[in-house]
Structure 1
């Protein structure tokens, strides 16, 4: 494996559960010799991707924060989506999330809250399950069969336990129904007190779809008109798709 891959693998070891790691533990987890592992860590510190704390312990460095800031300010999808998400929050008085699929989990890349609502347990960048909630279902429904099968194989126990699907065939059929419907509504799937409605944003043939969703308390969801919310979300999703395609077309000229 190349040096660059080895160094990137070090960064992937850090998580919410393990935000700080000892240098020797890093070497042990990745089967590096200590001289090799220490050299990689030293280079990552030099580039600001890691910072040393005390006693040979390390955590993410300041360059990570800079990269996240650049991502928030320069990502064209975010620049297009955020004004529309603010409008959705204003119209619905609910929270609005933009979610993407990565590997075998979902992450919210942006969310707007109604009056600083503290309902959302998952914030920007925090991985959440690929088997629960409206956003994962609508994204999976608009991906290829190969990916759908791999997710079912990995999380079959969870899909069965939630009574969503008992077999792969049933799982694929349900996702096909979701795709035809154009949205997915959930109540209590990800967190017991939350409901959500999500629609897909299919902005590129070379990338996973995104999910645009509104999120609120289950009590509130019992009172909303689903068709109205779906219409608001769908119009916003189409506008995001069209503006992104227009942006790409202009850059090709």
Structure 2
């Protein structure tokens, strides 16, 4: 790669990093604060903001104040209508809710985390649990651990030294060998089950959505409070969730082959 190309890639990454500034806690950013966060020249910062604004990725809400733009909403609709993973789950999550009686989630790996991309809420399910667009750590919760266990070996080798402390704190092992052994058990079982990793007494069960190479594209998961719902048959839930994940995996493979 030439120096010019390298600089161009770095410049693009810097510009796109502006979008990472906007969060639920800080949804509006001033031009001055964006420039300060970028740690770049004013002229370059202004150019980045102007480019993102013209692309619809930023929107001017007040004078010199910006929020995420309408193009993102448009892109989200496009993803809802065309995302292969989401399309392959149609009807499957609903059926899972009918069988188990609890809300079902569809997730995928994103960077060193897991992102919820789809959900089907049970009639009495809490509205404040994990939902589309939210992330969770890659090392906590059944939906995350079952994806982690099915990531390619080379990716796990890259993740382990970078996040060794988080892995150990999550009870996944204090060495590379114990980490691989714990993930190997999840992989062999074909599902992950956790208790109380985000909320006390809440059981989470998830199964992987796999490629033809048996690596994870995502996961399907269900969670319930064991104190509030003692009528849930865990073995039945595990079988239903594994079948749901298998159905989605098979649909994706059929689509790929057609």
TM-score by length of 2: 0.87
- Describe the SS at the equivalent of 2:129: coil
Gaps of 5+ in 1: none
Q: 1:92 aligns to what? A: 100
Is the 2:205–2:238 contact (alpha carbons within 8 Å) kept by the matching residues of 1? yes
Q: 1:80 aligns to what? A: 88
Instruction: Determine the C-alpha separation between the residues in 1 that align with 2:211 and 2:80.
Output: 18
Is the 1:195–1:221 contact (alpha carbons within 8 Å) kept by the matching residues of 2? no
Q: Give the superposition deviation at 1:179.
A: 0.3
Q: Where does 1:5-44 land on structure 2 (aligned, <5 Å)? A: 5-44=13-52
Q: What is the Cα-based RMSD across aligned positions, in Å?
A: 2.2
Q: Give the superposition deviation at 1:45.
A: 1.2
- Describe the SS at the equivalent of 1:241: helix
Q: Give the superposition deviation at 1:166.
A: 2.7
- Describe the SS at the equivalent of 1:209: strand
Residue 183 and residue 166 in structure 1: after superposition, are their counterparts in 2 closer, same or farther (change >3 A)?
Answer: same
Q: Give the superposition deviation at 1:119.
A: 5.5
- Describe the SS at the equivalent of 1:135: helix
Instruction: Determine the C-alpha separation between the residues in 2 that align with 1:208 and 1:142.
Output: 5
Q: Give the superposition deviation at 1:223.
A: 4.2
Residue 161 and residue 221 in structure 1: after superposition, are their counterparts in 2 closer, same or farther (change >3 A)?
Answer: farther
TM-score by length of 1: 0.89
Q: Give the superposition deviation at 1:43.
A: 1.8
1:202 corresponds, among 195, 204, 210, to: 210
1:65 corresponds, among 42, 65, 73, to: 73
- Describe the SS at the equivalent of 2:62: coil
Q: Where does 1:105-184 land on structure 2 (aligned, <5 Å)? A: 105-115=113-123, 117-118=125-126, 120-184=128-192
Instruction: Give structure 1 regions of 4+ aligned residues with deviation exceeding 6 angstroms.
Output: none
1:185 corresponds, among 193, 198, 203, to: 193
Is the 2:194–2:204 contact (alpha carbons within 8 Å) kept by the matching residues of 1? yes
